[in-house]
């Protein structure tokens, strides 16, 4: 157990299926269960909720239909990223937003400050934070996630009708106490289930009790270790590593989160700087890299590799790194000066004072298995 933004969180679990490697591999081949109740679950309601959220994030909420979700970025006034989040549209006047645990308090202050500033322009909006004392959030990830969840839910919605980045709310359930979203942080198919705390323990027990034909559990509990290795292999950003208040969406290689309409109309915090970066480019961008079997951890400096193999100028730094259990090699993400962030560029990482070869590589490092509706 470790402290994680003020919460006691497991790095890994005990038992026959515990340990980062086993938890990681079980998620890839079957199913992993993550207690992510420390995340911030927030509801925005009111006539001006869409207008307000489009002012605070780069999301194109006009493009969302009821039940659809999108990854977006909470922006600051300077064009930096205050947080990344998932926004789900319930109705035109109700949006469900999941924030990162380490950012949710500052995010809520940020939202409320701007709600007060825009009270005359956008008077009809309210924000409701459902704390971890009220609602839990459980991530069910892996190729067996749909079948497992379908089996143990009290109501029996046809989850095959729920596409990637879609959310049930009241579309498949008779009440909105339980929210099922098809999304995740592993690169695998999966769901995040929001439910009242009173039901959480029994829900976890049901998930972990289901056995495969050989008697092994379909799902195992997973800690922060496997969560990190899975998301790095999937090329997914972590706030505080790849995303920060002084990093723009363009530097983070997240320009794809900004639709054509939002690029043209702008109107979100920091839009002037983002437009400048879109038009003129940036001098340093996020990229992926692959090495041998020595992990290259966050904070490691990256250097050019000269023609004779010696160390050249420093051109970047690693933000996240591990030995990917599914890849069998060192993988990670870094910010590297352009044009040295192009694919197949050879760099040197200074690991314990020794130059270690790495190569800029496409992400994700393993194929994504996000669900597509038939």
Tens digit of each residue's pLDDT (9 = 90 or more) over 55-108: 999 999 999 999 999 999 999 999 999 999 999 999 999 999 999 999 999 999
Task: Note the pLDDT of residue 169.
Answer: 60
**Window from 165-179, 233-247, 346-360 with minimum mean pLDDT:** 165-179
Q: Look at residue 50 and tell me whether its pLDDT is greater than 90.
A: yes
Tens digit of each residue's pLDDT (9 = 90 or more) over 4-48: 999 999 999 999 999 999 999 999 999 999 999 999 999 999 999
Joined together, the tokens standing for residue 256 give: 């794809």
Confidence band, pLDDT 50/70/90 cuts, at residue 171: very low
Which helix or strand (DSSP H or E) is residue 315 part of? strand 311-324
Tens digit of each residue's pLDDT (9 = 90 or more) over 182-224: 999 999 999 999 999 999 999 999 999 999 999 999 999 999 9
Q: How far apart are CA 208 and CA 339, in angstroms?
A: 48
Q: How far apart are CA 39 and CA 136, in angstroms?
A: 9
Which residue ranges form the domains of the chain, and what is each CATH number? 2-38+133-233 (3.30.1360.120), 40-130 (3.30.70.1400), 283-361 (2.40.30.110)
Q: Which of 99, 94, 97 is nearest to 45 (CA)?
A: 94
Higher per-residue pLDDT: 268 or 170: 268
Task: Note the pLDDT of residue 176.
Answer: 61
Average pLDDT, the chain: 95
Task: Note the pLDDT of residue 172.
Answer: 43
Confidence band, pLDDT 50/70/90 cuts, at residue 175: low
Q: Look at residue 170 and tell me whether its pLDDT is greater than 80.
A: no
Q: How far is CA 69 from CA 57, 76, 144, in A?
A: 14, 22, 22
């Amino acid at each position: 157990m470790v402290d994680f933004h003020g919460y006691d969180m497991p790095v890994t679990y005990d038992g026959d299926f515990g340990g980062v490697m086993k938890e990681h591999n079980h998620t890839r081949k079957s199913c992993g269960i993550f207690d992510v109740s420390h995340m911030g679950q927030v509801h925005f309601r009111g006539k001006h909720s869409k207008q307000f959220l489009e002012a605070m994030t780069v999301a194109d909420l006009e493009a969302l239909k009821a039940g659809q979700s999108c990854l977006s970025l909470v922006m600051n006034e300077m064009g930096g990223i205050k947080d990344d989040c998932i926004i789900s549209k319930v109705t035109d006047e109700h949006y469900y937003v999941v924030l990162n645990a380490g950012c949710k308090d500052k995010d809520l202050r940020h939202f409320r400050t701007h709600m007060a500033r825009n009270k005359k322009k956008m008077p009809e909006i309210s924000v409701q934070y459902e704390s971890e004392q009220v609602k839990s959030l459980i991530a069910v990830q892996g190729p067996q996630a749909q079948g497992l969840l379908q089996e143990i839910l009290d109501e029996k919605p046809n989850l095959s009708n729920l596409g990637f980045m879609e959310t049930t709310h009241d579309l498949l359930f008779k009440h909105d106490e339980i929210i099922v979203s098809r999304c995740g942080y592993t690169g695998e198919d999966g769901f995040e289930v929001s439910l009242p705390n009173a039901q959480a323990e029994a829900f976890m027990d049901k998930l972990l009790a289901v056995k495969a034909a050989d008697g092994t559990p379909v799902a195992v509990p997973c800690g922060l270790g496997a969560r990190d290795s899975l998301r790095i292999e999937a090329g997914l950003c972590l706030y505080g590593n790849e995303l920060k208040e002084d990093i723009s969406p363009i530097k983070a290689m997240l320009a794809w989160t900004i639709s054509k309409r939002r690029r043209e109309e702008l109107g979100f915090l920091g839009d002037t700087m983002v437009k400048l970066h879109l038009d003129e480019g940036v001098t340093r961008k996020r990229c992926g890299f692959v090495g041998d079997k020595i992990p290259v951890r966050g904070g490691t400096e990256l250097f050019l590799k000269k023609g004779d193999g010696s160390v050249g100028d420093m051109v970047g730094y690693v933000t996240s790194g591990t030995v990917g259990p599914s890849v069998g090699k060192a993988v990670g993400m870094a910010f590297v000066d352009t044009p040295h962030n192009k694919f197949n560029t050879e760099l040197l990482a200074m690991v314990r004072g020794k130059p270690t070869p790495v190569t800029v590589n496409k992400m994700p490092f393993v194929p994504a298995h996000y669900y597509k509706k038939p």
